[in-house]
Amino acid sequence: MVTPVLLDRFRLDGRVALVTGAGRGIGAGSARALAEAGADVALTARTPEQLEQVAEEIRGLGRRVLVVPGDVNDLEQLNRFVDEVMREFERIDIVVNNAGGTMPAPFPDTTVRAFEAAFHFNVTTAFALTQAALPHLLTSGDGAVVNISSAMGRLRDRGYAAYGTAKGALAHLTRLLAADCAPRVRVNAIAVGSVATSALEIVLTDEQLRNEMVEQTPLGRLGEVDDIALGVLYLASDASSFVTGKIFEIDGGIEAANLSLRLPDL
């Protein structure tokens, strides 16, 4: 009888994962996936009630969990997050930089302040948390960072100058940090397509818009949170031990934006 060993490489027993934006959507789903694979998890986001709900689910899986409410835009709070995790768990093995996002807007209406805020929220926060956690990731021996980017970091459409630029920068930051941190810490990212979360609430409640997105997605459906969470689990675990500096496109196969904002010519 052959002893199964390949699936064991997805296990995260004894490891500790940090997840930002963990109160709902992809962050919450990723935290649950990591816990299901055996990791203890530290959660941060701005809404304590949402974090506690996710924490209860993780406790139900038999894992330890730490809830640290906060705003990742405040870089001092990110440092405090790392400090509290070390006090509680005494190690950090995995960082999932999930917090981010920016509402689309016509280019003439996008202020410099809004553009810089999008970069800070999507890129600077990931840079800062990874840097703060790096000494502990190096100590781990199995350090892994997973950044949540977007298909709009490589595609183009009107209205995404701030968001798309920020996510494109996050993708390249991933490649550069992978070079800086090799061979002891792996850094990868997921370029997410259209996923059915609260971020798409306006689309999900409009049948015409939803159908348009589905029709323009080769796999014929919107993504689910677990589609991304499983990618996070792969990139965080030893199953991907020969992978670093890569941007995994989990997007249903799109090669063009699948929802036009129908912005007029200038």
Instruction: Return the percentage of the chain with pLDDT > 90, whole number.
Output: 89
142-152 confidence digits (pLDDT tens): 899 999 999 99
Within the chain, residue ranges assigned H as helices are: 25-36, 48-60, 75-89, 112-119, 125-140, 161-181, 201-204, 207-215, 225-236
Calculate the average pLDDT of the chain. Answer: 95
Identify the domain containing residue 194 by its residue range: 12-246
In a domain, 165, yes or no: yes
In a domain, 266, yes or no: no
In a domain, 169, yes or no: yes
Report helix, strand or coil for 148: strand
pLDDT at residue 198, rounded to an integer:
73
Cis peptide before 218 (omega within 30 of 0): no
37 phi/psi in degrees, rounded to 5: -85, 0
Residue range 243-261: average pLDDT?
A: 94
In a domain, 254, yes or no: no
pLDDT at residue 2, rounded to an integer:
64
Within 157-198, residue ranges assigned H as helices are: 161-181
Residue range 33-56: average pLDDT?
A: 98
In a domain, 255, yes or no: no
Span of 22-36, 158-172, 186-200 with lowest mean pLDDT: 186-200
Residue range 177-203: average pLDDT?
A: 90
In a domain, 196, yes or no: yes
Q: Which of 89, 160, 163, 234 is catalytic?
A: 163
pLDDT higher than 90, residue 4: no
In a domain, 59, yes or no: yes
pLDDT higher than 70, residue 57: yes
Active site residue 163: yes
If one compares 209 and 23, the residue with the highest pLDDT of the two is 23
Domain containing 226 — which CATH number? Answer: 3.40.50.720
pLDDT at residue 209, rounded to an integer:
85
Domain count, the chain: 1
DSSP 123: I
In a domain, 225, yes or no: yes
